[in-house]
Chains A and B, each alone.
Chain A
């Protein structure tokens, strides 16, 4: 399946990176004073703000033996190329909120805070591919800033597939242009220090022979990100 030309003959990608390179990551903790923890993360042109409130008492209906992790993902109306009409509440944001919750619940020591709740709010200021990954990474930093006990850092990364002279070359940290080109996008949220996967999602089709190599590339990306943000 010769996909679209994502690699040049010199083996460089559309934005000049090599296949195994991440985009530039810059981050800052404690951007705001009111939330218990906050973080700002830039991954290339994708820019995300995360805020953590809690742990605080959960509302009566939500109480359980483990902490309730409440996530809300919203995108600024000016974050994408075409203006969005609603910042949140659409299906995509709701799905993103669920995925965030799954990845972050795996990392938080939920058994420490029975009958409590942690609120994690994500605001995407600029989306240029990999918004989910940047959100997970920013949320991890915000949780660290808030002092919430974690089993391990949770990092997320995407990987895609391209071909160079007939050989498979998995791409790391897919940008918006590469996403839009229509190739496979594999999103992995993992706990790199334990090597386990908290969430995995794939779109488009990929031959199972190559799945292993794309997945290991994405896992390598998660490890690189952990080194970068710690």
Chain B
């Protein structure tokens, strides 16, 4: 985020405010700014979502393909993240300008989704050792207003929740090859279990405290930020309330640090705990929204806005 100019007194105001847990827009240290989310926006994709958090605009499309599983993990499917920084966001991203940022985000997502406790790749298996689904998660950054990682992880989880995978109707064995017949009825498809998929929370260190979802001004006052990937609670994403789920314990599936500064171990420990609390709140809010949206789609109640709103 370039272009924000702050005087020294303004910085002191923000830093002293955070010390006493006051922020200039009235939020607490674990509050996010209001967001807009819409799922099912791209009809060519198996699942899609668009998320707008302040000035950050993310569009996620998920495509599915049949692939051969890796020989060392025959029962697991594959998931692949690709981030594209559109030049619409800023002219600096023209040509290959956004590649570095894009790679850092996609690597972070890949790491957060790697753990089997975060996302169960077994559900993508078709034929053990022979065929599996490969999910291509394509993330398009349309506008860049800070806090990209958090927005991307939210949009990806919403899009995965929206993803439909066709059922396999029949399989023909021909020698060593398998020929699959997929159902072409769009309603004859299975949904993914994404309840435990991780959310990324960026914590910005200001003074000795950390805040989530920093504004551009707050980002200017901070030298280092910590990104925590926290697994989600499946309870918020299941349709029927009667299903018995094991007691939920949020787990960190990835941690990374960005920026030139350093952080003490006490602050780090506090920051991780704060990140987990923020992620649990965020996960509950996201779960409620996407479940409500799915019910509306099923009842044809929802009007699709896309970018026309």
Contacts and interface: CB of A to CB of B under 8 A. Distances in A.
Contacts of A76: 42, 59, 61, 84, 138, 140
B8 interface: no
Given A31-B307, A32-B142, A87 B84 contact: yes
* Most central of A77, A80, A119, A127 by chain B CB within 10 Å: A77
B162 interface: no
A78 B144 contact: no
Nearest to A81: B44
A164 interface: no
B57 A125 contact: no
Given A76-B61, A81-B44, A34 B89 contact: yes
Interface stretch (A45-53, A184-192, A196-204, A214-222): A45-53
Interface string B84-95: 101111110011
Contacts of B84: 74, 76-77, 87
B308 interface: yes
B67 interface: no
B185 interface: no
Provide the main secondary structure of the chain B interface: loop
A127 B48 CA distance: 15
A66 to B, nearest CB: 20
A125 B42 contact: yes
Given A32-B143, A40-B308, A126-B44, A83 B63 contact: yes
A57 to B, nearest CB: 12
In which size bucket is the chain A interface? 35 or more
A121 B44 contact: no
A77 B136 contact: yes
A47 B143 contact: no
B280 interface: no
Nearest to A41: B307
Interface residues of B, number: 33
A40 to B, nearest CB: 4
A26 B68 CA distance: 42
B307 A28 contact: yes
Interface string A38-65: 1010100101011101000000000000
Interface string A72-101: 101011111101000111000000000000
20 contacts: A26-B308, A31-B307, A32-B57, A32-B88, A33-B55, A34-B145, A40-B306, A72-B95, A77-B61, A78-B63, A79-B44, A80-B44, A87-B84, A87-B86, A89-B95, A119-B91, A121-B87, A121-B88, A125-B59, A126-B43
Given A76-B84, A78-B44, A79-B61, 13 more contacts: A28-B308, A42-B306, A49-B307, A72-B87, A77-B61, A77-B140, A78-B61, A78-B136, A79-B42, A121-B86, A121-B91, A123-B88, A125-B59
Interface of A: 26, 28, 31-35, 38, 40, 42, 45, 47, 49-51, 53, 70, 72, 74, 76-81, 83, 87-89, 119, 121, 123, 125-127
